[in-house]
Structure 1
């Protein structure tokens, strides 16, 4: 009996093994057959079958999936969530992946390691296990493209058990976004942007309206030649702005601030901008207004800027006519349609509506579009504040007016410490007196303090500055004397003319 039962069990086991072997053989045959038939199945049908298999898997599987695409529904920008997830995985989970990808990003300070495509990365959060799968998909289209990269989509798939749905959606994903943004800020290299001409936007591969380089200006508030009390006032204002997100929301204002820097050339306006960017750790967008052809282009440029940035328009009084005064309309010469078609595009349209206007710039500063993105600083610089339209620089648009004036003694002491490493010297008294009598820019003072050799002869540098101040004083006195002579001669001429007119009347 035992032998029969043993034989029966062995037979049953053999039949079971044979059954499983037959099943796997059938599956293998189906896969092989499908791989052959796949060549003859239209890719539209393949996508339909794949989608059908996905729905069937979703019904039977206890796991849920979240897909984060690199393409955003916002026309003007990429998917910030995708970039945040990429940064988070690179920082927190990349070491657990078997296959990594290293790249020196153009905006990164160091080599960036990220998870390669189709690699599983396991993460845990409050007792829940989660799986990340970076992947890409090529758009199988019959349309020829000059930019093949546009046909390739990258995405991340997050897989988790359905019982953790609320935890993932309410807590885990916000945690990933916050950590990813923080990592991006820590790793990124600050950038200096300039706007591309509008005619080049459509010709570029991705329609880029800004080009950039690394921002490596060494200026700081510690090295800025300025009155210390005024410098501290600016620092406090910047500090308040940087931490004022909740305050701005409370008072109902967009999170932005405007600064007007005005003063003679060489007084440190550009240096001040660099010091602000280094203090706040912001990018700088240097907007060349003469390259912008319309208010629409100006709006597009503003939309393409990011938060944590400084938008600069230097020498705004020279960039474009923004006096607000109406010009007399020129008599238009009627041009035939045929002749107009033969003209180049930039010469066809002379309508004022196609130009950047004062109204368009005002909307750029504090219109509805100004609230886009948040955490922005707008800076105008000018050598002639009196030439600007009052509407452009009123409070609320240019909130803080900063005069960059001639070098005072306190600013000189900063320059002497920076360039020569001295804080006290016997010539400081004479220099204080001369700076009170002579107008000299910080740039000229710094040039005279610049050592001419590696020995850094402090006495020689200070003597050179004293000599330059005396020469400037003599030139100023001579110029004032010539002006008095001109005024007196003009007055005498006017008196003579009035006497002659009186004689003629008699």
Structure 2
């Protein structure tokens, strides 16, 4: 048979197949079509020796990303960069390199114990999103693994575990950490409620201005948590831990969070509670966070009124001011309906177990304003006071900004730090402008002057407070003396009335005796 006749026959066969498929799609009822497809698949499987395994990007109706998909993607990066013809490039760790991965609808082969296996990446977009002008995260991506059925046991019992283990290790090594924030509104074309940028904060525990012993205690606690997966499973607790950072502004609470993330190599989710519509949306945000993450709610005392008094106050205001109620309804004021109960469930309720290796951090300037139920042990497991800068913290800043470990002026400063309250932010602000000329002594003398000024201001403030206190005490004493004097006058007046009554009674008795006589 000639080559032209072969191609002509193949063309006719293909055209016939296309025609039959068109008739099948247009005229066969949908209910029958499903049965035909099932039996056709069974028929083709009789002649197909290969087995196919599909790993979807999302699991559980897209509520949570599939960890297996992420691990396989990292594992295939090695082979795809060497064998695939079409690649995708993303920014890698530290922003100094590109990470290559296989593009959609690309194939690469992998070899394991002498067996060749075929990986294929695929993606599909729902019909409703085909003509969208906006970027969409609704694309369904997956990896497909094909292999001969004789290798079923090898692949299922050994190869897949090997891929997951290697993929996780590669992912941790090469991943680019991110800083996430929740959107105030969820646009219709965006599936995720989080947006992100690259997390590249330079803060570490080495540069953190804090007492070394306290710093080491926090670091040991963090490392122990990250290595305690089996322990948390043994005691029946979700693998999470809460940290409460409290103290005056400028004491380094945000810097502490960055240092924690850099120590553990975690992502950071900065949760803005005022942008969360209700408790349901709060749970959805929690589900979309990844493992190995720090979830941060800064200034928790200012985010929302979570004491339960907000609703009662609003009801009273509406009862007393119906005009205000009508105005709010007419303007459609949208207020966050996150409750204390919803936040507590977010921290340690049933939904908090959806994932592992998470740290939840609250920060506040006013610890006394927080509801005790919110910060009790078990929710906020470790309370860390971020206080004013001490001498040990100053030495860290001196090393960072002036590159010195000791100086003859340090002893003077040690005494001043014991008598002065000043934040690390103020110390850094006073050291930074002086570092460019390289004169450490000038910088230290300038800082000493600042400390002495702060000390004098604190002394004058204490004197003023003492004077006011003395005036208050004198006023209170005068009020007490006046009260005692008034009580004494009242008591004497009562005694005089009793004497007058007794005298009147005696006079009456005497007059009665005279009448009888």
Classify the TM-score, shorter chain. 0.7 to 0.9
CA RMSD of aligned residues (A): 3.2
For residue 321 of structure 1, give the secondary structure of its aligned residue in structure 2. Answer: coil
SS for the counterpart of 1:298 is helix
Bigger mean CA offset, 496-505 vs 374-383: 496-505
Q: Could you tell me how far 1:178 is from its partner in structure 2?
A: 2.6
The separation in 2 between residues aligned to 1:290 and 1:55, in whole angstroms, is 54
Partner of 1:233: 217
| Counterpart for residue 26 of structure 1 | 9
Change (3 A) 1:181 1:487: same
> Do 1:107 and 1:214's aligned partners in 2 also have CA atoms closer than 8 Å?
no
Structure 2 Cα separation of the partners of residues 246 and 319 of structure 1 = 35
Match of 1:13 in 2: none
* Bigger mean CA deviation after superposition, 291-300 or 372-381: 291-300
Deviation at 1:499, TM superposition (A): 4.4
Could you state the TM-score of these two structures normalised by the residue count of structure 1?
A: 0.85
Is 2:490 aligned against 1:490? no
Superposition map of 1:50-89 within 5 A = 54-89=41-76
What is the 5 A alignment of 1:209-358?
Answer: 209-323=193-307, 327=312, 329-330=315-316, 332=318, 343-346=330-333, 355-358=337-340
Separation of aligned partners in 1, 2:450 and 2:135: 62
In structure 2, runs of 5+ residues without a counterpart are 490-517
* Cα deviation, residue 437, structure 1: 0.9
Contact 1:65-1:157 within 8 A present in 2 as well:
yes
Of 367, 372, 376 in structure 1, the residue corresponding to residue 349 of structure 2 is 367
Equivalent position of 1:414 in the other structure: 396
Per-residue Cα deviation, 1:420-479 (whole angstroms, up to 9, x for no partner):
011111100000001011111111122222243622210110001110111111111111
Q: Flag the 1:26–1:149 CA change in 2: closer, same or farther, 3 A.
A: farther
1:494 deviation in Å? 2.9
Q: Deviations over 1:61-100 (max 9, x none)?
A: 2221122333534331344333332222122344123x12
Give yes or no for contact 1:108–1:188 (8 Å, CA) kept in 2: no
Structure 1 residues 43 and 237, CA gap change in structure 2 (3 angstroms) = farther
Could you say which structure has the higher helix fraction? Answer: 2
> Do 1:91 and 1:183's aligned partners in 2 also have CA atoms closer than 8 Å?
no
Give the greater-gyration-radius structure (CA). 2
For 1:270 and 1:168, the matched residues in 2 are separated by 47
Unaligned runs of 5+ in 1: 1-16
Partner residue of 1:429?
A: 411
Of stretches 481-490 and 458-467 in structure 1, the one that deviates more from structure 2 is 481-490
Q: CA deviation at 1:480?
A: 1.0
| Change beyond 3 A, Cα 1:359–1:136 | closer
**Match of residue 165 from structure 2:** 178
Q: Which residue pairs with 2:500 in the alignment?
A: none
TM-score (norm 2): 0.83
Is it true that 1:388 corresponds to 2:374 in the alignment? Answer: no
Cα deviation digits, residues 317-348 of structure 1 (max 9, x gap): 12222346684651655999xx899835445x
Counterparts in 2 of 1:151 and 1:318: CA distance versus 1, 3 Å: closer
Q: Name the CA shift for 1:70/1:251 in 2 (closer, same or farther; >3 Å).
A: closer
Change (3 A) 1:208 1:140: closer
Q: Would you say how many aligned residue pairs link Structure 1 and Structure 2?
A: 478
2:88 to 59, 79, 102: 102
SS across alignment from 2:437: coil
- Structure 1 residues 493 and 153 mapped into 2: Cα distance closer, same or farther (>3 Å)? closer
- Mapping 1:111-260, distance limit 5 Å: 111-137=98-124, 153-197=140-184, 200-201=185-186, 203-260=187-244
Map of 1:11 onto structure 2: none
Deviation at 1:244, TM superposition (A): 0.6
CA distance in 1, matches of 2:371, 2:137: 45
Cα distance change on mapping 1:315 and 1:63 into 2, 3 Å:
same
Structure 1 residues 117 and 397: alpha-carbon distance in aligned structure 2, compared to 1, 3 A threshold: closer
Instruction: State the distance in 1 between where 2:281 and 2:125 align.
Output: 33
